[in-house]
Amino acid sequence: MANSKKQRTFISFEIDPEIREAFSQQLKSEGKTVSAVLKQFVEDYLKSAEKPQELADVIKRLEEVEKKVGIENTRLVGESVA
């Protein structure tokens, strides 16, 4: 029989009591839980870590397009002079 429960792990970290209390109050006022907010933070953080590579890919493609446009522009300018 397969175990249908998700495997979970826990993360613990130190935080000043005043910050923990302020965080708890903010969560309470928004009707959110610590787990939900921190899980979302981790997911967003991981997604943002992917963006630099995506940006590097976009820049590389843009440079290739600029090079091709420059070559084409040089060809067209050369034809118009002739």
> What whole-number distance in Å separates Cα of residue 32 and Cα of residue 35?
9
pLDDT at position 3: 56
For residue 77, the enclosing domain spans: 17-81
Domain assignment present for 70: yes
Q: What's residue 1's pLDDT?
A: 46
d(CA 50, CA 1): 37
Query: Does 8 map to a domain?
Result: no
Query: With contact defined as beta carbons under 8 Å apart, do 34 and 27 qualify?
Result: yes
Q: Is residue 4 part of a domain?
A: no
> Mean of the pLDDT values across residues 7-22?
93
What is the pLDDT confidence band of residue 48, given thresholds at 50, 70 and 90? confident
The answer to the question of residue 71 being in a domain is yes
Q: How far apart are CA 76 and CA 82, in angstroms?
A: 10
The pTM of the whole model exceeds 0.75: no
In this prediction, residues 39-61 reach a mean pLDDT of: 83
Domain annotation covers residue 12: no
Domain count, the chain: 1
- How confident is the model at residue 30, as a pLDDT? 96
User: Is 10 among the domain residues?
Assistant: no
Q: Domain for residue 23, yes or no?
A: yes
